[in-house]
Amino acid sequence: MPGCDHVRRTFYGKILQTGDGKEAIDLLEKNHDISLGLIDIKMPDMNGLEVAKIIRKSKRKIFLIAQPAYSFNEEVEEIMSAGFDRILLKPLSHEKLLEMINIHSSSITGRNSGGCC
């Protein structure tokens, strides 16, 4: 998994981490300025698909990136129908993550916010 410090240095964002799906929902309820979520699909308590569905039902505008363990066609379809904007397939890399963050940043600002590493 790309290091938080590297991402923070590149995009100057605040990074919040949770250990499971329920914590993620609690964190989102307490932090209304969150605009991007990198969500593991195989989390304990509540999986990433359930988390994404709850976020989408809340009508919050959060750019969701799924992090699945595998990339079977059926799973990709299920992930996208749960409400994710992008899927970050393994092997993970700084470049892939930063590219997706850049897509999100560009959609907010209406301009390209810088290239990947």
Give the tens place of pLDDT for each residue, 78-91: 999 999 999 988 77
Domains annotated on the chain, with CATH:
4-109 (3.40.50.2300)
**Which residue type does 28 have?**
L
Q: Read off the pLDDT band of 12 (50, 70, 90).
A: low
Question: Can you give the pTM of this predicted structure?
Answer: 0.76
| pLDDT in the model for residue 111 | 40
Residue among 68, 76, 77, 16 nearest 43 (CA): 68
Q: In sequence order, what are the residues at sequence separation of 6 or more whose Cβ sits closer than 8 angstroms to the Cβ of residue 55?
A: 25, 28, 37, 62, 64, 83
